[in-house]
Amino acid sequence: MTNVDVVVAGAGIWGSTLARRFAEKGMRTLVLERRSAVGGNVRCETDPESGIEVHTYGSHIFHTSIPEVWQFVNRFVTFNGYQHKVLARHKGKTYFLPLGLALINGFFGTELKPSEVPGFMADEAHSSRLFDAFFRGYTSKQWGRSPEDIDPSIIKRVPVRASYDVNYFNDCNQGIPLGGYNSLFDRLLDHPLITVKCSQRVCFKGGAFMVGPDALPNIPVYYSGPIDELFGYKFGELPWRTLRFETEKMNIADYQGTSVVNYTDAEVPYTRIHEFKHYHPEQKDVMALEKTIVMREYSAAWKRGDEPYYPVDNAASRLLLEAYQAEAAKIKNLVVGGRLGAYRYFDMDKSIAAALSIEI
């Protein structure tokens, strides 16, 4: 490990973007990934029987309105233009999300005009019914809180579209890489100055960065793993929500007619069902197969050994994060970032933007 100029710990979207930038600046870059493969939570696997690309850690849709980010990723992959739409199941009926005219009129059996939406939603009876149907149960499952502990005023902070636009994201650029997400990481890391080593965990111990029994050379380290894990949880564990997935192959062409359906009722144990073949409508042969793959997603409290997904933001976690950030600030040549390192939920484009903004 001596013939290296910089170490990137974590081969997710932030780390892989940084590694590419370092290599293109002529820096010999060592990428260390704690999992057995690169890609972070965007990692996918292609089912050998059907050819369906399965998002291993739940659905990921690339979307951005940041020109520099769109320009950067298109150096490496071409996107298929997929436009994401999410449906919600409540009491046996299906509705379009997000909160807009399609949902409001379908749920209440009305025919509101766009100009009538603000006044309609200002009525507490209407907003409370929508909250109870589509937010209360889903939020309780997602965050592990009793439905009674969830404040209905949340819905007042939810954007309401006074239109029939049912695209989930407003970003002008959306899609899935034509060759799948793994192709993005393969190409980002395909550079003669980048060396990738998987199944390698980095920690800071005894005043040095360690990979197993070996100390890293005294060079810059860009770390995007869990910040508390880096320091051996010395101040305690940051709280996360984790996810569990149940995947099922079916001998039918189409199970739910779309890529994601949220299940908003508290009595349904999972939060949503993913059906992955819908992410690649350009793959006509795959779409025509009498085969599909669905994944049921369950949310749970994180414990050590689980994959961390969503940071739990509260007063205690903010204080704990500050303690770890202060510890990291003491270490020369350490930069902490990415979703796990920053203890923040980032969309993919925001992770890339953060990596592009770092001065090299």
Nearest to 168 by CA among 89, 247, 82, 235: 82
* Residue whose pair of structure tokens reads 């197969």 in the numeric block: 289
For this structure, is 241 an active site residue? yes
Which of 68, 151, 244, 345 is an active site residue? 345
Question: Which of left, alpha, beta for 102 (phi over 0: left; psi -120 to 50: alpha)?
Answer: alpha
Q: How far apart are CA 289 and CA 275, in angstroms?
A: 14
Q: Which two tokens stand for residue 18?
A: 């940084």
Question: Who contacts 109 (Cβ-Cβ below 8 Å, separation ≥6)?
Answer: none
Which of 20, 43, 272, 339 is an active site residue? 272
Which of 33, 228, 275, 297 is an active site residue? 297
Helices (H) and strands (E) in the chain, counts: 12, 19
For this structure, is 297 an active site residue? yes
Q: How far apart are CA 240 and CA 234, in angstroms?
A: 17
Q: How far apart are CA 174 and CA 228, in angstroms?
A: 33
Nearest to 16 by CA among 39, 43, 34: 39
Which of 116, 237, 265, 347 is an active site residue? 347
Q: What is the CA radius of gyration of the chain?
A: 22
Q: Which two tokens stand for residue 296?
A: 């049921």
Q: How far apart are CA 333 and CA 90, in angstroms?
A: 51
For this structure, is 345 an active site residue? yes
Q: Which two tokens stand for residue 169?
A: 């994201």
Q: How far apart are CA 192 and CA 29, in angstroms?
A: 9
Bridge partners of residue 100, in order along the sequence: 161
Q: How far apart are CA 69 and CA 72, in angstroms?
A: 5
Q: Between helices 124-131 and 101-108, what is the axis angle to 10°?
A: 100
Which of 157, 267, 285, 359 is an active site residue? 157
For this structure, is 272 an active site residue? yes
Look at residue 71 and give its three-state secondary structure. Answer: helix
Q: Which two tokens stand for residue 7?
A: 């170490």
Which of 129, 241, 296, 344 is an active site residue? 241
Which of 161, 223, 228, 263 is an active site residue? 161
For this structure, is 35 an active site residue? no
For this structure, is 161 an active site residue? yes
Active site residues: 157, 161, 241, 272, 297, 345, 347
